[in-house]
Amino acid sequence: MRVLEFEAKALLESQGIMPPEGGVVTSAEEALSAATALGRPVVVKAQIPMGRRMKAGGVSFADTPEEASAAALALIGKTVNNFLVEEVLVEERLNIAEELFVGATYDPVERCAIVIASRAGGIDVETTGKLVRRVFSTRHAIPNYLGREVATELGFQGEIVPQLGSTVRLVAQKFVDWDAVLLELNPLVLDRQGRWWVADAHLELDDDASYRQKELWSELPSSVYWAGRKSEIERKAAEIDSKDHRGVAGRLIPFEGDLGLLIGGGGASLTTMDALLDAGLRPANYCEIGGNPSVWKVKELTKLILAQPRVRKLAVIMNVVSNTRVDLVARGVIKGALESGRDPREAIAAFRIPGSWESEGEAILRHYGVPFFGRDTSIDQVVEAIKWPS
């Protein structure tokens, strides 16, 4: 579960990591009152379960209460990163001396928990500045020296080392205590008076551990509410899947790219996503299919994905399958493209499903000029062959 910023900050504040002064509002009038009460410049932030809000226009700066009201009016009721904004956080704009990044997560390569820190806080911190990494155990209390080592390696000296070290250690400990999969303070701000603040927080909790974190989850009503909601495209995909019991097709997760996807589930889907990203392509969604979905189900999903304004083409990629008829999927994507008013040869970038009724599926696709790839072509080769219009 992705925890909303204001609730993540409330949890951190209970542990002594202080957020700027402010509060959540649901209207422009409330934003005006909140900014007036603060009496200084503020930041107005959309409260949605999604990162990169700044790039998506979900964060505004206001010097006056009137500007804060206007910013709230521009955000509330609008869609940011596919989520409808219902609340905004109005909080004090900090007098920043330095921004840092401090986070804890799991390293999938090393297969262990790690602390990551940098003196380059803010957007895209992972690709800028020097990153300090420290492995730590989730089975034992986090030692004090871990935080001090991180602070020292970041280049700090004097009294800042134990101050920052304490925060680093606390982030690692709460990552474990809360059964988190990610906890980031980004940025962690040192103001010109020498005080530390968490200007933004990113907390994701392991859903599978919710049974032992009932008390914690009870403190996060807004985040739990959002976790149970779906974006419009997710809801429509689930409706399509529920209307036809045949096959699996409807677990759709939207992204920000322009290549729509219908891909096989399990490890093959992860392989496909990795290959697409490595090739510099930008997936617009993740959507698993399998278990012999009907022509209607594939057709409706194709139409739904192609209807997204940012989607330029659709790629259909699966591993070798014995439980899904290739010809039925082929008919579904062709019908979906045609009913969307699109030429299949222009709308479908690639089709690779080797398996049952493969020759029949290939014949259908080639009739419409759609590129077909069989079992003699790897997923990486299929991805390399995807061409975009100029």
The percentage of residues in the chain with a pLDDT greater than 70, rounded to a whole number, is: 97
The answer to whether 68 and 42 have CB atoms below 8 angstroms apart is yes
Q: What is the mean pLDDT of residues 304-314?
A: 95
Taking the domain 21-92, which CATH number applies? 3.30.1490.20
Residue 121 predicted with pLDDT over 80: no
pLDDT of residue 322: 85
Report the predicted TM-score, pTM, of the whole model to 2 decimal places: 0.70
Residue 269 predicted with pLDDT over 90: no
pLDDT of residue 215: 96
Q: What is the mean pLDDT of residues 365-386?
A: 93
- Long-range contacts at 203-210 (CB < 8 A, ≥ 24 apart): 203/2, 203/3, 203/8, 203/11, 203/178, 204/1, 204/2, 204/3, 204/180, 205/1, 205/3, 205/178, 205/179, 205/180, 205/181, 206/179, 206/180, 206/181, 207/1, 209/179, 210/1
Under the banding of pLDDT at 50, 70 and 90, the label for residue 110 is confident
pLDDT of residue 248: 80
Intervals of CATH 3.40.50.261 along the chain: 232-385
Residue 363 predicted with pLDDT over 90: yes
Taking the domain 232-385, which CATH number applies? 3.40.50.261
pLDDT of residue 229: 78
DSSP per residue, 230-249? --HHHHHHHHHHHT--SSEE
Residue 390 predicted with pLDDT over 70: no
pLDDT tens-digit profile of 52-106? Answer: 899 889 999 999 999 999 999 999 999 998 788 999 999 999 999 999 999 999 9
Q: What is the mean pLDDT of residues 248-268?
A: 85
Intervals of CATH 3.30.1490.20 along the chain: 21-92
Under the banding of pLDDT at 50, 70 and 90, the label for residue 256 is confident
Mean pLDDT of the chain: 93
Q: What is the mean pLDDT of residues 163-190?
A: 97
Residue 127 predicted with pLDDT over 60: no
Q: What is the mean pLDDT of residues 189-214?
A: 95
Q: Which CATH number fits domain 96-227: 3.40.50.300, 3.40.50.880, 3.40.50.720, 3.30.470.20?
A: 3.30.470.20
Rounded Cα distance, 260 and 262, in Å: 7
pLDDT of residue 128: 56
